[in-house]
Amino acid sequence: MTNDKPKLTPRQQQIFELIQRAIAKTGAPPTRAEIAAELGFRSANAAEEHLQALARKGVIELVGGTSRGIRLKAGTLRTVNETRKRGDAEHSGLPFNLPLPGLEQLVLPLIGRVAAGHPILAQEHIEQSYSVEPSLFAKRPDYLLRVRGMSMKDAGILDGDLLAVARAREARNGQIVVARLGDEVTVKRFQRTPEGITLLPENPDFEPILVSPDHPEFELEGLAVGLIRNQLLI
């Protein structure tokens, strides 16, 4: 146990826990506007001020150029782990960042390009494997997927990132999923309506993908449970 945990005000702790819960529930951090609405602030600027304070204390990292550019820092993981061990699992949303040294490691295959008609975890799709700390993730992942393109930029998911994915065949509205459409594997936000499934980008330059209920080539491959900047895995 460390003795140099950052000391947060009650409001900062509230925002920190809100970020954790959002990541655990949807796979992405909240926007400033969502934080403001949840906590009753008059504007997103008030949320921004608290986020800046959390960043100065080293609890989070703020990433520019995206509305969801909030990342929990590796230094907060030990505190999160201790909280979870006390039985507070519901409020221990798990951060997307680097592993702490000396803790149990999880070996995950990295999936590159996926061939049509082959399982996503087929040996020919595996580029290499990485060892990561399991508590980085909202749910234990089965593999890492290399993100291609910027369609999820506003969710903080960028080209070249490694998305941690837990295999799943069902998803709730609002969750970030990995879906297969024929020979293409895509990362999008899931939305089910009576008309079918819509795969929503988090970038206004991209169009939603509409999937009819009887689409023969659609398959849900898994749920996003974490994110690692590729350049940090060296």
Which of the following is catalytic: 7, 151, 153, 212? 151
What's the start-to-end Cα distance of the chain, in Å?
A: 27
Which runs of E-coded beta strand occur in the chain?
60-62, 70-72, 106-111, 126-132, 143-146, 162-167, 176-181, 184-193, 196-200, 209-211, 218-228
Which of the following is catalytic: 57, 135, 153, 188? 188
Mark whether 188 is an active-site residue: yes
Tokens 């996503």 sit on residue: 120
Q: What is the rounded CA–CA span in Å between residue 42 and residue 210? A: 36
Q: Which two tokens stand for residue 121?
A: 């975890």
Nearest CA among 36, 96, 32 for reference residue 64: 32
Q: Which two tokens stand for residue 48?
A: 């921004």
Q: What are phi and psi of 33, to 5 degrees?
A: -65, -40
Task: Judge contact between 160 and 146, C-beta under 8 A.
Answer: yes
Task: Judge contact between 198 and 211, C-beta under 8 A.
Answer: yes
Q: Tell me the DSSP string of 60-90.
A: EEE-TTSTT-EEE-GGGHHHHHHHHHTT-GG
Give Cα separations from 128 to 114, 186, 190, 197 (angstroms).
14, 20, 28, 32
Alpha-carbon radius of gyration of the chain:
18
Active site residues: 151, 188
